[in-house]
Structure 1
């Protein structure tokens, strides 16, 4: 409500005769003279960081396994040859933590976890050694004779809450398409469920690699590779200590966050990450009118375009997106050439985005991840 009240306040002042508005760093408005509303804006920032606004409350996770299933290329009695077969052996409504241990190997299969099958933990024997791969693209025809679309192209899709993956690679082997190609979105992983954690995983693809679709998600020490919009969706997520690697030979974009409303409580926060690769890369494109992405303490190689961000061909989005960076480093982090509608955050503005409270982590992450996110030495 506080966020809504602030928005209404700004709109009312804008309608006053002679009102003047500036959408810069401090958001000032005036009516009969300039009037600063930075305090109200900072209250909103703190409110967003507290996660008391969340639709997901009283969330309870489970970590003690009740069952361990084993997947292997050469399974022993009671084991499985594929991850999907292991999943299919479980009750549709799952109420306890199930660990699916996947032995080293390349598993060529398409996997989907249904919405009611909560508490699944997929554990590999190292991301370099354990790989799940497929090669669907959005224009691939499904059983109904229609294209499966971006949503259906995922190699591995999770629709249920409380999912965990660790030490495993999810890969879409579809070839990187030429710039502007239609129907070639090829998702390696789609996460639609709430309260999901990914530790030391690899996501390999080209266009639309990681579909951070819906819910709260935590990515720790992961590697994500792609060309265009290779982290995209409308999730509320923190990426901590991740390596983001571009493989485009022309223009590409790292993120495409799809927040479409001022009241939508979503966004991506990248903390202590590294951005490298080839081509010329935007930090993000405004897929949603209120798209929200922040990079903090992140190393950016020279591949980052000086402007940094793209408005998706709609200048109106420049007034509503929230794009920022805070104490980033590297040749691509120079803020001097950035578009005027992005911002170099102040410490109070950045604080909510560099805390695990941004995703309400204490409610659902394993305790060993309940660490304050540390910034590098100044």
Structure 2
């Protein structure tokens, strides 16, 4: 029955992936953030892009709360053309302008239409123009009378802008459109001014720095009112994103360090752990009532509005009269507004590592392994100095489907164990004391397992089934020797990151599977003989050394037909033992295999033809084997088999980290 369920699940995943080029999201922000990169090359995306271009005003910004994907009549299109020069209702509120710029960047990454690049750059210029001399941004620009002129942190408006400035000023690859050096310099100055504004608006309570208000007066920088129910107050929601932005700055100034320390202390002081929100829904899933109920050791939450002097939470209806609880205000505001947030939890989670990195003393309470609802940290040491002497025992002790990361620190030693991380052990991280001396080893192979034709898949030393897995500073070895198939590491999980690890074996060393899984190997050493990197997953190998023990094949991908990327090697080095003089880059385990080498150093062991069809003539028509800008004695591009490819730069540019691993999860991989 379990195998039957797995088969059905695999079928459903395969079917859904075949349809992923069709947009299935109803809301405009979801369309931008959740679609697969390949969708942006579809006709559907191009039609939406035409709408986005129409909605953009000549000044560069967009109005808010527009469902850009909705079809437009000819009359509506003409009206939008007429509105191009209109200077009203152009904003960064509710994600406007920032999200449309992101959409244009994603479009340009797939379709090199110069209008998309021009639209993005016009939006960037709009943001630069809208900045106040003091570094802040208003909610609307050109300015709209009323509270809209205040410096606006509300709904992360200013943080969204500063994140754009940060990405562009640091010349990262987050956006596909690259501004001129002059514009990059402007974004650096804009970012620095914005951070200075943030530091100056951090509220002092009896001389002690705390947090921020959703709005600050554009002249005095004091906390300011907005709508009737949005009185000047310290914000538990908006302040969290501000602090996360400050924490993302490399080599922070003493003023930034003080701001983060002060905000962290305020978050600790103001967290609420004795209340939980209960929502009552109707048959259509709409919220019809919210209640706050008492609870013991509830996950921490923070009020969105807190008194400037006492930190006491308060709530308002449209009459602007402060109340002490949400049940004292009318249902329209009670149910239609977010009065509490768990956003600061992310600050408290990241603070200890940030503090240590930046030379800030961390208290025992801050550094202690967290208990309920926080990170779990376990230690494995063979000498008995940790929580466990065996790695598998620590995994057994880890919580199932945790809300937060579970870290298992492994002290130096050789652990003769066969390790399985089940699918319910998500968010698990293994960290070795050192790659050279933290060794997990076992010696299963095909003949030893002897369970029939699929025995290979049971030979693993380490099997990872739980999603959101990471490992670093570890050697994982199949010690059975050159005795047939023997997997060292088998990863069937989604969002797996392996860094600074050694993966050692012979035939079938590294198995990477899953028709829709994304995995990332960075700074690793991977060694084997025949097909020693094989499977169906989408995997990015970056800055890795790939070493062949004897003459054979490096890869054997089985990429599903509709998956855009298979195995991608970037900036890797392919080496070999002296006896290995005839090595193929790959052969297709299944006929739709995809394997690409970019900017790699290929040793002299690589055969001139490069690739082999594994006696599958159909594979020559359906595989995608390619190289770009590779160097070394093995990079004999003119002698490659005719059915492989040498990419142009424009084609190679599509192999960005964001495209391969998907933008929806790429931030996870960067952690």
The two structures have a TM-score, normalised by structure 2, of 0.44
Q: Given the alignment, which residue of 275, 294, 300 partners 2:574?
A: 275
Shift of 1:275: 0.2
Task: Note if 1:88 corresponds to 2:396.
Answer: yes
Task: Kindly indicate whether residue 406 of structure 2 is the aligned counterpart of residue 98 of structure 1.
Answer: yes
How far apart are the structure 1 equivalents of 2:452 and 2:628?
44
Indicate whether 1:245 and 2:547 are aligned: yes
Native 8 Å contact 1:141 1:148 kept in 2: no
| Distance in 1 (alpha carbons) for counterparts of 2:505 and 2:628 | 28
Q: Deviations over 1:224-268 (max 9, x none)?
A: 0001111110111100000001101xx31111100242x234401
Matched, 1:309 2:611: yes
Structure 2 residue aligned with 1:355, among 636, 645, 657?
A: 657
Q: Tell me by how many angstroms 1:147 deviates.
A: 7.0
Separation in 2 of the partners of 1:186 and 1:241?
25
Given that 1:238 and 1:270 are in contact with CA atoms closer than 8 Å, whether structure 2 keeps it comes out as yes
- 1:361 and 1:218 mapped to 2: Cα distance? 14
- The structural deviation recorded for 1:361 is 5.3
CA contact (8 A) 1:294 1:353 kept: no
TM superposition shift of 1:349: 1.4
Q: Find the aligned partners of 1:165 and 1:347 in 2 and give their Cα distance.
A: 33
Residue matched to 2:377: 68
Take 1:361 and 1:227, find their aligned partners in 2: how far apart are those partners? 34
Shift of residue 295 of structure 1? 0.2
1:254 to 528, 546, 554: 554
Per-residue CA deviation, residues 2-50 of structure 1 (Å, 9 max, x unaligned), is 889x9xxxxxxxxxxxxxxxxxxxxxxxxxxxxxxxxxxxx9x938xx9
SS in 2 for 1:229: coil
Per-residue CA distance 1:44-88 (angstroms, 9 max, x = gap): x938xx9xxxxxxxxxxx985611111111122x61111101001
2:426 aligned with 1:118 = yes
Tell me how far 1:362 sits from its aligned partner. 5.7
Q: Following TM superposition, by how much is the alpha carbon of 1:365 offset from its aligned partner in structure 2, in angstroms?
A: 4.2
Q: 2:456 aligns with which of 128, 131, 150?
A: 150
- Higher helix content, 1 or 2: 2
Q: Tell me which residue corresponds to 2:466.
A: 160
- When residues 348 and 364 of structure 1 are mapped into structure 2, their CA distance, relative to the original with a 3 A threshold, is closer
> Partner residue of 1:190?
490
Alignment CA distance shift 1:162-1:131 (3 Å):
same
How far residue 335 of structure 1 moved from its aligned partner, in angstroms, is 0.5
Alignment partner, residue 140 of structure 1? 448
| Aligned-partner Cα distance in 1 for 2:452–2:595 | 33
How far apart, CA to CA, are the structure 1 residues paired with 2:659 and 2:542? Answer: 13
Count of residue correspondences: 309
Contact 1:202–1:224, Cα closer than 8 Å, also in 2: yes
Alignment partners' CA distance in 2, 1:284 and 1:242: 17
TM-score, reference length from structure 1:
0.76
Matched, 1:210 2:510: yes
Cα distance in structure 2, aligned partners of 1:323 and 1:46: 20
Equivalent positions of 1:11-90 (< 5 A) are: 46=110, 66-76=375-385, 79-90=387-398
**Equivalent residue, structure 2, for 1:33:** none
Relative to structure 1, is the Cα distance of residues 82 and 361 closer, same or farther in structure 2, using a 3 angstrom cutoff?
farther
Question: Does the residue aligned with 1:310 lie in a helix, a strand or coil?
Answer: coil
Aligned to 2:500: 200
Aligned with 1:229 (options 531, 547, 571): 531
Question: Shift of the alpha carbon at 1:364?
Answer: 4.7
CA contact (8 A) 1:163 1:197 kept: yes
1:333 pairs with 620, 631, 635, which one? 635
- 1:244, 1:273 within 8 Å by CA — same for their partners in 2? yes
Structure 1 CA distance, aligned partners of 2:452 and 2:641? 40
Gaps of 5+ in 2: 1-20, 23-37, 42-106, 112-173, 175-345, 351-373
Looking at structure 1, the residues matched to 427 and 564 of structure 2 have their Cα atoms a distance apart, in angstroms, of: 24
